[in-house]
């Protein structure tokens, strides 16, 4: 347990025969240092395996060099992509990423704020549905903690954000089904607390309306973005008379569940039932048949959002909100409806 004490800036200064401040200048790439001195200092740093003490830096600069990532237990692949993108941008920076999954953003805003304050974060990245939570953002502004929003769907302009166009994406997915000839299309909505659920429904309805198809309320079922909730919703849809010839699920987990539900009813996918997902998560390639789905560039979004956050932390002006493109991936879970229907 003899924790070997780390070399400090003073040790380096002594070895390089300069003052501590000069070492500090070298460490922070400040100007006004001779090349000769610079190299001497650098050698001493290497010899002593010197690493600046982040706590001390943080103390004087009142920075923790910690950035939080707030999200709410969505699917594992979503979380991992989120983290990947955020970390990718952080590579080479001094900041570290602290993960902060919360049970429910609504669980008590002030508790979350207390969490953020006690964690001494410099800034936070807000993933849905936290990114749509007005109260949370208000509190963050009050305590002066910068944030960036990933996939917000409402209250735009309340902070830098990166998103995709959920309405357009859902519209595209629905059009794909319409073009295949489907007329009776079931929808499995996502978690109502995620505003994306509504946006996607709107897009779907727009596409159907444009094709002159009315979406009966009975064809709209609600899920929670989980496999199990999707399974229940799909069963209800398939019990209708007549059942839909296609189901548009608002994420891949629920779409996978729809396939399972179809199998329970003895229906073949895509022959008897077409299924469309959303997200292009791992699951979409693992199920059979592989899902037609919308690719949502989660990793890119997290990367860009983190980038915006770093800009803000450097005191640079906030850039404009960013919208990233989506993509309809047509795989094998969709086909024209059977002739007779």
Partner DNA sequence: TTGTACGCGTTATCAG
Partner DNA sequence: CTGATAACGCGTACAA
Q: Which residues bind a second copy (CB under 8 A)?
A: 1-4, 6, 49, 51, 53-56, 58-59, 62, 64, 66, 75-77, 79-80, 83-84, 87, 94, 96-99, 101, 114, 117-120, 142-144, 227, 253, 256-257, 259-260, 263, 282-283, 285-288, 315
Residues 6+ apart with CB under 8 A from 208: 174, 178, 185, 214, 215
Q: CA-CA-CA-CA torsion for 170, 175, 177, 179, nearest 10 degrees?
A: -170
Separation of alpha carbons 144 and 154, rounded Å:
22
10: which 2 tokens? 């003073």
DSSP conformation class of 5: P
Q: By CB under 7 A, tell whether 31 contacts DNA.
A: yes
Question: Of 56-75, which residues contact DNA (CB under 7 A)?
Answer: 56-57, 59-62
Asked if residues 60 and 21 have their Cβ atoms less than 8 Å apart, the reply is no
What is the nearest approach in angstroms of DNA to the Cβ of residue 62? Answer: 6
From the list 8-16, 146-154, 302-310, 325-333, the region that binds DNA by CB under 7 A is 8-16
Asked if residues 113 and 145 have their Cβ atoms less than 8 Å apart, the reply is no
Residue closer to DNA by CB (options 4, 217) is 4
Residue 130: name its binding partner from DNA, a second copy, none (Cβ under 5 to 8 Å by kind): none
Separation of alpha carbons 299 and 290, rounded Å:
21
Asked if residues 34 and 42 have their Cβ atoms less than 8 Å apart, the reply is no
Q: By CB under 7 A, tell whether 15 contacts DNA.
A: no
Question: Of 36-55, which residues contact DNA (CB under 7 A)?
Answer: 36-37, 52-53
What is the nearest approach in angstroms of a second copy to the Cβ of residue 77? Answer: 4
Residue closer to DNA by CB (options 6, 210) is 6
From the list 31-39, 285-293, 316-324, 332-340, the region that binds DNA by CB under 7 A is 31-39
Residue closer to a second copy by CB (options 54, 240) is 54
Residue closer to DNA by CB (options 37, 113) is 37
Separation of alpha carbons 249 and 274, rounded Å:
11
What is the nearest approach in angstroms of DNA to the Cβ of residue 252? Answer: 46
What is the nearest approach in angstroms of DNA to the Cβ of residue 99? Answer: 24
31: which 2 tokens? 């100007």
274: which 2 tokens? 């077409």
Separation of alpha carbons 45 and 49, rounded Å:
6
Residues 6+ apart with CB under 8 A from 157: 321
Q: By CB under 7 A, tell whether 19 contacts DNA.
A: yes
- Interface with DNA (CB under 7 A): 5-6, 8-10, 17-25, 27-28, 31-34, 36-37, 52-53, 56-57, 59-62
């Amino acid at each position: 347990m003899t924790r070997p004490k780390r070399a400090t800036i003073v040790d380096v200064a002594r070895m390089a025969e300069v003052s501590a401040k000069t070492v500090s200048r070298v460490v922070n790439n400040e100007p006004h240092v001779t090349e000769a001195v610079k190299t001497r200092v650098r050698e001493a740093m290497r010899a002593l395996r010197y690493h600046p003490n982040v706590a001390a830096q943080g103390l004087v600069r009142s920075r923790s060099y910690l950035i939080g990532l707030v999200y709410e237990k969505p699917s594992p692949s979503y979380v991992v992509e989120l983290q990947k993108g955020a970390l990718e941008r952080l590579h080479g920076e001094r900041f570290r990423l602290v993960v902060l999954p919360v049970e429910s953003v609504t669980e008590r805003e002030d508790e979350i704020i207390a969490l953020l304050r006690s964690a001494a974060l410099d800034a936070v990245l807000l993933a849905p549905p936290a990114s749509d939570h007005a109260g949370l953002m208000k509190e963050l502004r009050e305590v002066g903690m910068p944030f960036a929003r990933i996939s917000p769907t409402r209250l735009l302009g309340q902070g830098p954000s990166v998103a995709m166009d959920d309405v357009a994406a859902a519209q595209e997915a629905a059009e794909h089904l319409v073009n295949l000839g489907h007329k009776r299309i079931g929808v499995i909505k996502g978690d109502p607390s995620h505003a994306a659920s509504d946006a996607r429904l709107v897009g779907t309805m727009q596409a159907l309306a444009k094709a002159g198809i009315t979406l009966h309320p009975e064809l709209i079922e609600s899920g929670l973005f989980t496999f199990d909730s999707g399974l229940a919703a799909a069963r209800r849809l398939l019990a209708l008379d007549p059942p839909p010839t296609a189901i548009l699920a608002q994420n891949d987990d629920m779409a996978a569940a729809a396939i399972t539900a179809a199998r329970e009813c003895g229906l073949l996918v895509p022959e008897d039932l077409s299924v469309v997902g959303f997200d292009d998560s791992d699951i979409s390639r693992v199920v059979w048949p592989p899902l037609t789905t919308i690719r949502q560039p989660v990793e890119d979004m997290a990367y860009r959002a983190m980038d915006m956050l770093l800009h803000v932390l450097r005191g640079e002006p906030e850039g404009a909100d960013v919208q990233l493109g989506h993509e309809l991936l047509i795989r094998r879970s969709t086909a024209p409806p059977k002739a007779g229907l």
